[in-house]
Amino acid sequence: MKLQGKTAIVTGGGRDIGSACAKTLAREGANVAINYFASSAGADETVAAIKAAGGNAFAQQGDLTKQADVDALVAKTVAEFGGLDVLVNNSGGLVARKTIAEMSLEHWNTVMDLNLTSLFLMTKACTAEMTSGTIVNLASQAARDGGGPGSIPYATSKGAVVTMTRGLAKELGPNIRVNALCPGMIDTDFHNIHTPDAARKGFEAAAPVKRQGVPQDVANLVLFLACDDSAFLTGTNIDINGGMLFS
């Protein structure tokens, strides 16, 4: 029970990596507040699974690019659980693949807000309530290699997450540690929507581990960064990609 008595917020916790993170943190004793935007059924299932296992959780819908929704999530978390110790900034997305020539300013701003502005707003609101604890940011392999075709705004925003993680570690230490991870090919709806099946099969053939990652692989690393097992790590951006990219 590595997080016994702690409280965590997991953004984008209604599916895939976020859901796996919420369940994993809860199994280690954390009270978990789950944010979701559209994945209502998945968020409810995640809460039900946590409660069935004896844990405490709630889910709240919110658009984390909006200050009011951020404030409401943090306020309910503190009211329900009495404090805040762990923030997992998981929400985000690619939206659509577009070249620079095809891209509108609106699309650029949407992706930046989704992946970066939301992280800023959540971090600012949560650190106002945290006297100690950990923040775990979800960056991406795209932050390392520029991403796949048509994903420049996504890759750029995730590169900013990598840099912001380093800056926050300096600013918030020693009481709050801030780390990030950079997932590669993980079997999620993100890749179901945005990555052709042939590319995923090609990854499996080329990867040293000969498989795609699964959400639980990422959740296990999030737990490590969220608890005291990683007590001497801050400002790191850890690759988790099956050996396809070394940085």
State the total domains in the chain: 1
d(CA 166, CA 49): 34
Q: Is residue 210 part of a domain?
A: no
Which pLDDT does position 197 carry in this prediction? Answer: 79
d(CA 219, CA 186): 11
What does the pLDDT look like over 2-18, one tens digit per residue? 999 999 999 999 999 99
Share of the chain above pLDDT 90, in %: 91
Q: Is residue 24 part of a domain?
A: yes
Q: Is residue 202 part of a domain?
A: no
Q: Is residue 203 part of a domain?
A: no
Q: Is residue 204 part of a domain?
A: no
Share of the chain above pLDDT 70, in %: 98
Q: Is residue 207 part of a domain?
A: no
Q: Is residue 130 part of a domain?
A: yes
Q: Calculate mean pLDDT across residues 217-221.
A: 98
User: Which of 26, 68, 30, 16 is CA-nearest to residue 48?
Assistant: 26
Q: Is residue 245 part of a domain?
A: no
Residues forming the active site? 154
Let me know if 224 is exposed, middle or buried by CB neighbors in 10 A (0-12, 13-18, 19+).
middle
**pLDDT interval class at 192 (50, 70, 90):** low
Domain that holds residue 96: 7-187+215-239
Average pLDDT for the chain:
96
DSSP at 230: G
Q: What is the CATH number of the domain that holds 169?
A: 3.40.50.720
